[in-house]
Chains A and B, each alone.
Chain A
Amino acid sequence: MAASRSRVGWFTRHRNRVGDGFTIVLLLVVLFPFGWLVQMSFRPNADIFGYDLLFNPTFAHYKALWAGAFPASFVNSIITSVASTVLALVLGVPASYALSRGAFRSSRGIALWILATRMAPPIAFTIPFFLAYRFLGLSDTLIGLIIVYLTFNLALVIWMMQPYFDSVPRELEEAAWIDGCGVWEAFWRVTLPLSAPGLAATAVICFILSWNDFFYALVLTRTNASTAPVAIVNFIQYTGWEWGRIAAAGTMVMLPVVLFSMLVRNYLVRGLAAGGVKE
């Protein structure tokens, strides 16, 4: 008896350490391409494709980026991502609350509609938006991009916030109503603070999705409103493939997103699946 128990115990310990070791190795392998790009951004041009890990790091590529048109596109990314997130929240949060509490008969239909928007391929939107913007003069404008981003952000906000609102006990709101608060006053005072973490996570995910967008920006912007991901593609398409700058631009573009993602990693799945886990 004692012998088999200790044998199981030893095996488990052994397994944990092996598992940990394997995890680390796997993590390194998976993150290798990512790390390679980042290190390329600090390598001097002469040695950009070299393999020895001891090199003199240089900020020359970042400086060169800064002097070019890249900062403008970076600022464009910030503006479009923040603005579309704010707009999506302003429109979507009250809607989500209304769906949660309002017991509308059509809420299943609305849920399906939202899911449908999420499923439609971007090309189904880019063609009509491109043609419409051409007519409306919204081509190559930030406003144009912000509106297009609403197609996924608005749906996302409505979808994501609903479970949070659902989980706030109605009694608390009812208590506020009895005290004389209007529906929205109670929402502001009671429900919203309780859903703050969900709200923050939703906001961050909207930001990430807007920031990462490539297809819409590629098609709907040209020079004035091009965002950072599209600007990187400009570097690629210059002849000579300025790898140092490409790597630096890539690193800069992914930095905000990676940082933000770490903050909301527990909410990422729900956000990206737009509620798929909810059964």
Chain B
Amino acid sequence: MTGWDAQRRHAFQLGLAPALLVLALITIAPAIYLVLTSLTPLNLTLPDSAWDFSTPLANYSDLLDDPRFSRSAWVQAKLSMATVIAQLLIGLGVALLLNGGGKVRQFARSGFLIPMVLPPIVVGLLWRVMYAVDISPFHRLMEFIGLPVGSLITNPNLALTAIVIAETWEWFPFTMLMVLAALQMVPAAPIEAARIDGANDWQMFRYVIFPYIQQTLVVAGIFRLIDSIKAFPLIFVLTDGGPGDVTQVTNYYAYRQAFTFSLWGYGSAIATLMVVGIFVLSWAIDRLTGTARAGAR
């Protein structure tokens, strides 16, 4: 290595170091602390519990027996599946609609962004208004046309659906944007060729366009899946995990255990399991889609 190369390398290391140091401090240190806390029965009313490692796996074995935990995982699974599929379908549909087209649709793209960039708490507020039977224009409208709808968020069968609707409204622009970007990269030649051959819209989509955007859909799906596990403000404002615990996803259950009941050890254990679960899930999907990607080539 020449002197200049060594100097350059040194300069790059200098540029990278502070960021890595800070990142390590604020991500790795808390992660270690989280795992350590999950091995204690930490409860702030009993200060001695802070470093009580006598039964390190007690929280985890409790979790395995805890029906509320397994229920929350099931609620999470339902929520994630529903919102990801809905967001993909609606995002895809709107993207197809907006693709090409004139000024009107170009302008509309910015408009459709709004749900995604609103502060999530404001989204929660909006939907709180929309779901409050006495004051919601939506409920009024249904009543007006003779199909009165009861309150969704206090109905144990419909509360989760209500959250799915609100969540889909909030995030479909994300998939829409990703699909739009991908649509714009579809080469013109195959489309022209198909049109000349007389393909109708469905055939055009299914055989010409879809193969090009398939990967994007998968990537968008993965991101939406991971984000759906973080769902918090909507549940906090709309249902508080209820009625009963039908909308209490794992994230919310951890929040309750830690911040409402001050069971920090237990909450940490739930959080740790969640992180592990997400990593495993992402790795698995990456593997699967990697194979698919290789196969598509």
Q: Which residues of A contact B (CB under 8 A)?
A: 16, 19-20, 22-24, 26-27, 30-34, 36-37, 40, 49, 51, 91-92, 94-95, 97-99, 101-102, 104, 110, 113-114, 116-117, 119-132, 147-148, 150-151, 154-155, 158, 177, 182-184, 208, 211-212, 214-215, 218-219, 229-230, 232-233, 236, 243, 246-247, 250, 253-254, 257-258, 261-262, 265, 268-269, 272-273, 276-277, 279
The residues of A that contact B18 with a CB separation of less than 8 Å are 91, 94-95
Contacts of B230 in A (CB 8 A): 121-122
Given the complex, which residues of A lie within 8 Å of B102, measured CB to CB?
16, 20
The CA-CA distance from A184 to B15 in the complex, in Å, is 9
Note all chain B residues with C-beta closer than 8 A to A155: 23
In the bound assembly, the distance between CA atoms of A114 and B27 in angstroms comes to 10
Binding site of A, secondary structure by majority: helix, strand, loop or mixed? helix
Q: Mark B130-147, 1 if CB is under 8 A from A, else 0.
A: 100011010010000000
Closest CB in chain A relative to B256 CB, distance in Å: 11
Tell me whether B177 and A269 are in contact (CB under 8 A): yes
Q: Does B288 contact A (CB under 8 A)?
A: no
Restricting to B218-252, which residues have a CB under 8 Å from any CB of A?
Answer: 219-220, 222-223, 226, 229-230, 232-233, 236-237, 251
Q: Tell me if A273 and B27 are in contact (CB < 8 A).
A: no
Contact A215 B233, beta carbon cutoff 8 Å: yes
A269 pairs with B181, CB closer than 8 A: yes
Inter-chain CB contacts under 8 Å: number: 250
Q: How far is the CA of A20 from the CA of B20 in the complex (A)?
A: 49
Question: Which B residues lie within 8 Å of A130 (CB)?
Answer: 258-259
Contacts of B117 in A (CB 8 A): 208, 212, 257-258, 261, 268
For B127, the closest partner residue in chain A by CB is A33
Task: Report Cα–Cα, A49/B230, bound state, in Å.
Answer: 32
Mark contacts of B2-38 with chain A using CB atoms, 8 A cut-off: 1 yes-contact digit, 0 otherwise: 0010011101110110111011001101110110010
- Known A-B contacts A34-B115, A127-B34; A250 and B26 likewise in contact (beta carbons under 8 Å): no
Q: Report yes or no: B126 in contact with A33, Cβ–Cβ below 8 A.
A: yes
Q: How far is the CA of A128 from the CA of B36 in the complex (A)?
A: 10
Known: A250-B125, A273-B223, A277-B219. A258 touches B22 (CB 8 A): no
Partner-binding segment picked from B59-67, B151-159, B268-276 = B268-276
Kindly list chain B residues whose C-beta atoms are within 8 Å of the C-beta of A219.
259
A24-B19 contact given A30-B169, A124-B274, A128-B34, CB 8 Å threshold: no
Choose among A19, A110, A236, A246 the residue that contacts B105 (Cβ–Cβ < 8 A). A19
Residue from B16, B111, B216 in contact with A99 in the complex, judged by beta carbons closer than 8 Å: B16
B residues in contact with A116, CB < 8 Å? 279
A127–B26 touching, CB < 8 Å: no
Residue B98 lies at the interface, judged by CB distance under 8 Å to chain A:
yes
Q: What residues of A have a CB within 8 angstroms of the CB of B174 in the complex?
A: 269, 272-273
**Smallest CB gap from B259: residue in A:** A219
Pick 29 A–B contacts, CB within 8 A, sort by A. Answer: A20-B104, A24-B108, A31-B114, A33-B127, A36-B126, A40-B129, A94-B16, A94-B19, A95-B18, A98-B11, A98-B16, A99-B16, A119-B282, A122-B230, A123-B258, A125-B27, A151-B26, A183-B8, A184-B15, A212-B120, A219-B259, A229-B120, A232-B121, A232-B122, A257-B119, A258-B114, A273-B174, A276-B220, A277-B219
> Which residue of B30, B118, B258 contacts A132 across the interface (Cβ within 8 Å)?
B30
Contact with A along B83-125 (1 / 0, CB 8 A): 0000000000010011001101100111111111111111001
Q: Do residues A124 and B19 form an inter-chain contact, with CB atoms below 8 A?
A: no
